[in-house]
């Protein structure tokens, strides 16, 4: 069975992964881009967006590794885009342009049906309406012996943690306090996790947890 993990997830010191008032103008909410400030200068991020150069080192190592070895991905609908309710049409094709960075099947959790959306570079978005277990089953079938990465947002990661379906969680703890927004740890009382790797750079602390089954 393929490993199920969160291969990269930025959070503030108080556990928020996005700020309040998320919108098309502020996809990560007010001040939410601070969760990604460690990532934006990396060689990995800049190359993903067609540029050259960028910083190498600890942060880029984590950025690059988070995008490799995954045979399928799972996203919450809010991660795919800002549209709520039934799809008004199929004009929204994600935040990433015509070639998203996933290069593998992506399963988007939603309550509203939509036809699969093939993109350039090997990414196809599949829209799953029957829950997290169904999405995971489909993602594992697509991934084969490669990993399935739960990409977010916080509500989606929290659902998989609460259901005991995650094997590993990598968080990037940014030294800021947001105070409001979408918090990762809410409702996860009793969650057991073992830190297996802790590496700090000048801008962020990378912490990898092995999730311990409970009950």
Could you give the percent of the chain with pLDDT greater than 70? 99
Flag whether pLDDT at 31 surpasses 70: yes
* Structure confidence at residue 214 (pLDDT): 57
Specify burial of residue 20 (Cβ count, 10 A radius: 0-12, 13-18, 19+): middle
Q: What are the pLDDT digits (tens) for 147-179?
A: 999 998 999 999 999 999 999 999 999 999 999
Q: Omega into 48 within 30° of 0, i.e. cis?
A: no
CB 153 within 8 A of CB 182: yes
Q: CA-CA distance, 184 to 158, in Å (whole number)?
A: 6
CB 18 within 8 A of CB 24: no
Average pLDDT over residues 78-98: 91
Q: CA-CA distance, 155 to 20, in Å (whole number)?
A: 14
Q: 54: how many CB neighbours lie within 10 A of its CB?
A: 17
Domain borders along the chain are 4-84+103-212
* Structure confidence at residue 18 (pLDDT): 86
Q: What is the CATH number of domain 4-84+103-212?
A: 3.40.430.10
Q: Which of 78, 136, 86 is nearest to 107 (CA)?
A: 136
């Amino acid at each position: 069975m393929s490993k199920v993990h969160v291969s990269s997830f930025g959070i503030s010191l108080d556990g928020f992964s996005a700020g309040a008032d998320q919108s098309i103008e502020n996809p990560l909410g007010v001040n939410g881009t601070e969760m990604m400030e460690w990532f934006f200068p990396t060689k990995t991020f800049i190359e993903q967006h067609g540029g050259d150069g960028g910083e190498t080192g600890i942060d880029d190592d984590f950025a690059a590794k988070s995008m490799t070895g995954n045979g399928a991905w799972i996203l919450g609908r809010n991660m795919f885009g800002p549209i709520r309710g039934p799809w008004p049409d199929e004009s929204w094709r994600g935040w990433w342009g015509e070639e998203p960075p996933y290069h593998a099947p992506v399963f988007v959790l939603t309550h509203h049906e939509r036809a699969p959306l093939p993109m350039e570079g090997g990414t196809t978005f599949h829209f799953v309406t029957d829950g997290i277990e169904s999405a995971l089953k489909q993602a594992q079938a697509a991934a084969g012996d490669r990993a399935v990465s739960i990409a977010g947002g916080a509500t989606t990661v929290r659902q998989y943690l609460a259901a005991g379906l995650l094997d590993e969680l990598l968080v990037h703890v940014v030294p800021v306090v947001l105070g409001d927004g979408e918090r990762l740890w809410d409702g996860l009382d009793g969650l057991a996790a073992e830190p297996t790797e802790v590496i700090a750079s000048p801008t962020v602390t990378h912490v990898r947890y092995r999730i311990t089954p409970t009950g």
